[in-house]
Structure 1
């Protein structure tokens, strides 16, 4: 008799339904706590529900490309802008062309409008230029102790800048324009480096790495003044990079210059100014870029770039040439839209077709830079010609109507469940409540995480999900009732009905999720919001049914109200037309139940 007793307990004790329910409740509590911790208590709304900002960009031809404004380039630019600002495609920033030379960008309320402007308006013109001379970013005084001309005025400042002016983000830009071979050996910790070879460069004399020439070539003077054209010498001396306006003006001039011309440029933070040679490697030679947190070298957030095959060769050539020169002409500047974002020294020829920009990046700045570089340079330059505020009056009315429709639909579902399933309706309503809490909290947290915005189509997707979730409950309930009709008691019926219901639920939800995934991939704009919400709620339906509905049903099957088939339980054998109890040996019955 011991074996049958053990078998009799198997259906009721299968798994640990109580523990599973506790885990689900803890997950809900964690998500709710995350909402309060982040200070975000409501989902981020799209522009049709919350309003926002709309601005118009006008395309301008780039130097040397008078016929660049055409339909193809405009569509390409709009596509790049859209990928930059939308990421996963759910942030609800709208980008569309208008006319022959305008692009309209709509930014929903709650989005960082300033950052979005930078993302869509930055052309991401990247160039690697050799450094001819550099000094501190302040204006160079005209009178100097040295009677030499123009660029040699930097000598006085050079001695002051030699050594470690800063440690994190300035790099070799701290070395002055007139550093001689002797002080250049006092290598600073290079804040921004390129590849592993460059990371080693600061610890060795500039003349010793990557070159067979043991002595510093005397051809270029230390400050590089002889390589600087006279007009640029005056412009360089007069440039003051410490003000935002002067940095912007210098950046515009540098960005508008031809790649083959030397330019004067500022460091992006204004601490250094440079005279730079012609572009040695263009941004189009960058194949990919990504932001990575470097825990091994301790550099924090870095941007890793991979070059094309041609770009890798150009990069190897320029680093090979710079490795034979002295400070600061053994440096090259990484120039983004006319501003120097990095100025590493080169100690040896760098092969391999990849590079790393490091030093002074936050996660956001590293991701922004890699995002712009990954999605490529815009084929056109743009300027903002109009900016307006968009109201959400129409969207608010539509949302109200949609919520009313959703409430009516939910009420009809509840009435049907109570009328047909009676006590089982409590299980369905509790499961719907859990699904609603999970959906709301996840949508709320996805706002700051991936810029997810809830728009009208997304609301429709959430309403459709009510039917999908209710359908899963109905499938399971009907499987249990079928087992009871066959003459089984409730506890074996709950366990035997689950495998067949599980297969049906998984197939149904897989088809729904596949449809949502295809819709998300092949569509753009607001339809993606509908697809994303539908896919999310479909996944949550599986989670709720497996980890809440089934364990809850297992626990309730032990309660007298359901186990004895009360008339209001929804599991009354007489009302279901149950057959007489199945006649089989106890050992066989329990073995089959345990297998199920």
Structure 2
């Protein structure tokens, strides 16, 4: 089973190197590779609103944006109390950089006019608002006669959304007036009404497959949108008005960075603040829209003060030293295992190599699929994992040796020892995994990298012990080298301190240190002994019981000679001793 998992793991990576952008080596984090640094500064009109709280909120939003894009190990900090420094590892793509640069707040506006993306200059007299009398106040946010003035119409007609420069985004418009904007893909252009719902009223947005009222899948990707307690009544009011309108007045536009990222139509009143946006989505576009809805709104607006490439803070030399420390620690574990367990230590070596192979494959796969990057704290987590993994093997081997001391044959000792060791290993790894989860949730930056690799290697440890180490021990237990307790096997009875007769198979028992191979045991040793005759006592307890039994059986020094009637029994005992 483990072999199939390893083959599938590396086959996926190799396929990714051929048909995608996968690599045979993990990506490195900022401290080992360097990257791009962007410094954000509040716009002049927003500087009066800058507080430590708003800066922390902005950092949280930017971090969510970056994490959602798949980039790991990014460093986002404040500078001077009013600036934000974003350091991204490697060479991030344009989409990721745009997520950092985009600082406009998200808005929900009603659609008043929708048209083709190209510019269409027209006579102002032909505009929808040209023949409408001037109104002092609107009848509502969707009042075309009030909001679509001749000036707004001219701006709309002249806008050409097929030009890339008109889809570069910009500052949001006046929230109380009409606003002309392009679709972010350049497929349409809009005249929008005033802002009705701010982006801060979005509680969450997720993407997934749509379902019917009976729970069956529709086979189409959708975006599920949920509003906060403050936003729910606003959204209910908006959908109540729009549901009765005709297209395009029944649409509301989601505006981010002065671009319309989505303009869904309203088919019914939504009273609970939970909406579903459907359309021609695929998995990627649905996830992108959900991320934009989740993390699109910043508490204040920023401009990019500087953007530059930065070098690695630690570099390859520190990485080499970290890996060297890991290799040195691994060698110490190997030397200890071979010294303590002889040939049995080779099982530890093989298990560690398998664990290292699986861990390397998983990290490389995550680098490709999830944007994971290996940092120096992550390397430290891998080094610590060597001891954690070796500890599981030691627990297992010592349980097997304890069962052998209790008089069990090797096959039975392996099964009984595994039953006892399994509980200990599961409990120990559960503690390590819980600690890794807590550390990952509470920490930031490089510490999260340490926690991630610690948790990952804990899971790998369980896979290797259950799917490799234990099955391998079962197979080795069937060989003569281990089952007969060869001195180099690590299961030699003399080294284990076994001091009771041991069942050797084929109706034979052997004394401590006696090999079961060769001639049958002498007649004096052929006494029925049940497997596990030690009764679960420790070595010290068994020896103490043996000494007590000998003391009780021996006659006192001044005891009178045995009577005549007892002589035959004494002679039989003497003959038995011979």
Length-normalised TM-score, structure 2:
0.79
- 1:490-526 C-alpha deviation (Å, 9 max, x unpaired): 1121122222222222222222222222221221110
**Cα pair distance change 1:369/1:413, threshold 3 Å:** same
2:72 alignment counterpart:
91
8 Å contact 2:147–2:177 — kept in the other structure? no
Q: Distance in 1 between matches of 2:267 and 2:333?
A: 72
1:262 alignment counterpart:
178
Q: Distance in 2 between matches of 1:66 and 1:492?
A: 75
1:54 alignment counterpart:
37
Q: Displacement, 1:89?
A: 9.8
8 Å contact 2:113–2:192 — kept in the other structure? yes
Correspondence 1:30 to 2:13: no
8 Å contact 1:224–1:329 — kept in the other structure? no
Equivalent of 1:516 in 423, 436, 441: 436
Greater relative contact order (CA < 8 Å, ≥ 6 in sequence): 1
Equivalent of 2:52 in 71, 87, 104: 71
8 Å contact 1:131–1:276 — kept in the other structure? yes
2:540 alignment counterpart:
none
Correspondence 1:138 to 2:118: yes
2:206 alignment counterpart:
290
8 Å contact 1:488–1:581 — kept in the other structure? no
Moved over 6 A (4+): 583-590
2:224 alignment counterpart:
304
SS in 1 for 2:314: helix
SS in 1 for 2:49: coil
Q: Distance in 2 between matches of 1:498 and 1:327?
A: 70
Q: Displacement, 1:69?
A: 1.8
SS in 1 for 2:279: strand
1:148 alignment counterpart:
125
Q: Distance in 1 between matches of 2:476 and 2:420?
A: 20
SS in 1 for 2:253: strand
What value does the CA root-mean-square deviation take over the aligned residues? Answer: 2.9
Correspondence 1:402 to 2:385: no
Correspondence 1:238 to 2:215: no
8 Å contact 2:162–2:186 — kept in the other structure? yes
**Cα pair distance change 1:223/1:299, threshold 3 Å:** farther
SS in 2 for 1:33: helix
Q: Distance in 2 between matches of 1:152 and 1:88?
A: 43
Which has the larger displacement, 395-404 or 383-392?
383-392
2:390 alignment counterpart:
470
Equivalent of 2:235 in 299, 307, 315: 315
Within a 5 Å distance, the mapping from 1:206-285 to structure 2 comes to: 224=144, 227-248=147-168, 251-253=169-171, 255=172, 257-285=173-201
Correspondence 1:420 to 2:369: no
8 Å contact 1:132–1:225 — kept in the other structure? no
**Cα pair distance change 1:334/1:434, threshold 3 Å:** same
Length-normalised TM-score, structure 1:
0.77
Equivalent of 1:571 in 487, 491, 494: 491
Q: Distance in 1 between matches of 2:279 and 2:36?
A: 34
Which has the larger displacement, 350-359 or 95-104?
350-359
Q: Distance in 1 between matches of 2:501 and 2:413?
A: 12
Within a 5 Å distance, the mapping from 1:359-378 to structure 2 comes to: 359-375=279-295, 377-378=297-298
Structure label with greater radius of gyration:
2
8 Å contact 1:61–1:380 — kept in the other structure? no
Q: Displacement, 1:149?
A: 3.9
SS in 2 for 1:385: strand
8 Å contact 1:299–1:359 — kept in the other structure? no
- 1:200-250 C-alpha deviation (Å, 9 max, x unpaired): xxxxxxxxxxxxxxxxxxx99x995674123212211211111111233xx
Q: Distance in 2 between matches of 1:47 and 1:472?
A: 33
Q: Distance in 2 between matches of 1:547 and 1:567?
A: 28
Correspondence 1:106 to 2:71: no
Aligned residues: 495
For structure 2, the 5+ residue unaligned runs are 18-22, 132-138, 504-526, 537-578
1:580 alignment counterpart:
500
Q: Distance in 2 between matches of 1:347 and 1:435?
A: 55
Within a 5 Å distance, the mapping from 1:325-340 to structure 2 comes to: 325-340=245-260
**Cα pair distance change 1:133/1:513, threshold 3 Å:** closer
Correspondence 1:42 to 2:25: yes
8 Å contact 2:343–2:488 — kept in the other structure? yes
- 1:53-96 C-alpha deviation (Å, 9 max, x unpaired): 1221222256xx56212222112111221122125998101111
**Cα pair distance change 1:477/1:319, threshold 3 Å:** closer
8 Å contact 1:60–1:69 — kept in the other structure? no
- 1:399-429 C-alpha deviation (Å, 9 max, x unpaired): 1111111111111111111122111011111
Q: Distance in 2 between matches of 1:31 and 1:330?
A: 49
8 Å contact 2:69–2:96 — kept in the other structure? no
1:204 alignment counterpart:
none
Q: Distance in 1 between matches of 2:71 and 2:308?
A: 22
**Cα pair distance change 1:41/1:286, threshold 3 Å:** same
- 1:255-300 C-alpha deviation (Å, 9 max, x unpaired): 1x22111111112222222211112222222221111133767573
Correspondence 1:342 to 2:262: yes
8 Å contact 2:68–2:291 — kept in the other structure? no
